[in-house]
Amino acid sequence: MAAGTVVIFAFFSFCTKYFEKPVEHSVLGAEKAAARAAPDMVESGSGKPTAENQSALTSAPAPAEEQQLNSFEKNEKYPGTLGDQVMKALDSRDGVMAMKMANELFRCDMATRMQARAGSLSTEEAELQKSASFREARAESQRERQRTISNCQTVAGGIIEMRARLLLLATEQRVVGAAAKEFATGVRRPEVLKFMVEDAREGDLNTLASVAGHSAAFFGISSEAHNILRSALRIAAEDREVGQEVQLYLELAESLSVALGGEVKKKFDSTNLSAEDKEQARIIAEKIIKRMRPPRS
C-alpha cells in the first residue's frame, strides 16, 4: 500500500473513532470536531492530505488546551472583530493570542470549504433528513458556519497568509504546540524541528504524536530519545482518566510511523528501554496526562 494511502487511511480511522456518536446528533458536533481533531490535515485550499505534511495530522488542541484557546467571541483581552484581534495579536507580538487567532483562521478555512458542499446530501443523510432532530441539527450547523464565515470576512488579506504569520509569531514566542502547527503547513525550518522535540518532551500530545510518527533521524534525535517519546505515549494511553483519548493519538502515530517513519511493524516496542529511559518516559507521560486533564474548578 502506498504511503499516502496508508496515511489517509490512518487519519480517517482516527476520525471514525474520535467522532463516533449517534448519527442524528452528529451533524453540528462533527463539524466542530473536525476542526479540533485535525486542523492541519491539509494545507489550506487543498482537497486531500499530502505526503509532505502528514506527520502533523494531530496538531489540534487537546481538550484541556482548547479551554485556553477559546473562540474570539469569548475573548475579553481584545474586543472587536476577528480582524481586529488578528492585527492586535501581531502588533503586540502576543504569542499566545497569535496561537488562538491561528486556530480561528483555520476554522475560517474549514467553514468556507464546508459551506461549498453544504447543499449536497449523502444517501444516508438524505434518509436522515426525514428526522426532525437531524434537520434541526443540520440547520444549526449551517447557521453557526455562516456566523463563522461572516466573522472571517473581517480579516484583511488572505486567510492562509495571515495564519502563517500568526503561527510564525507563536513559534518565535515559544508557545507550546505552535511549531507543530507550522510543521503541518509544510514549514521545515531547523528551529521548528528543534522546538517540536522540546514540546514533545514537555508532554504536548499533538506534537509528540507527530514526532513519534516520523523517524528519529528526521528530527535529529537518537533512537533512544525517540523510543522514550513513543513509550511515553503508550504509558499515557493507560491512564484511567485520559487514556482513551491518548490511545487514539498513539494508534495514529503508530500508523504514520509505517508510512512516514520507515517502521515495519505498526506497534511501538519499548521492551528494550533501560530503567533510566523508562523513568524518563514515565515523567513525559505524566506531563501528557496533566495537560490533557481539564482544569480543576
Average pLDDT for 226-244: 97
Average pLDDT for 4-18: 46
Cell of 270: 519499548
Provide the strand spans (E) within the chain.
Answer: none
Rounded to the nearest 10 degrees, the angle between the axes of helix 190-201 and helix 159-172 is 60
pLDDT at res. 225:
97
For the cut 50, the answer to whether the pLDDT of residue 20 exceeds it is no
Using pLDDT thresholds of 50, 70 and 90, give the confidence band for residue 28. very low
Q: Which residue has the cell 434541526?
A: 136
Cell of 38: 485535525
Using pLDDT thresholds of 50, 70 and 90, give the confidence band for residue 129. low
Do 218 and 211 touch, CB atoms closer than 8 A?
A: no
Cell of 113: 470549504
For the cut 50, the answer to whether the pLDDT of residue 297 exceeds it is yes
Do 100 and 72 touch, CB atoms closer than 8 A?
A: yes
pLDDT at res. 68:
41
- For 238-291, the pLDDT digits (tens) are 999 999 999 999 999 999 999 887 887 778 988 889 999 999 999 999 999 999
Do 293 and 240 touch, CB atoms closer than 8 A?
A: no
Q: How far apart are CA 238 and CA 242, in angstroms?
A: 8
Select, from the ranges 10-14, 61-65, 215-219, the one with the highest average predicted confidence (pLDDT): 215-219
- For 59-90, the pLDDT digits (tens) are 444 444 444 444 444 455 557 899 999 999 99
For the cut 90, the answer to whether the pLDDT of residue 206 exceeds it is yes
- For 144-201, the pLDDT digits (tens) are 888 888 899 999 989 999 999 999 999 999 999 999 999 999 999 999 999 999 999 9
Q: Identify the DSSP state of 78.
A: S
- Give just the sign of the alpha carbon dihedral 6, 251, 44, 204: negative
Q: How far is CA 289 from the centre of its chain?
A: 17
Q: How far apart are CA 75 and CA 85, in angstroms?
A: 9
Three-class SS state of 264: coil
Instruction: Supply the pTM of this predicted model.
Output: 0.74
pLDDT at res. 103:
95
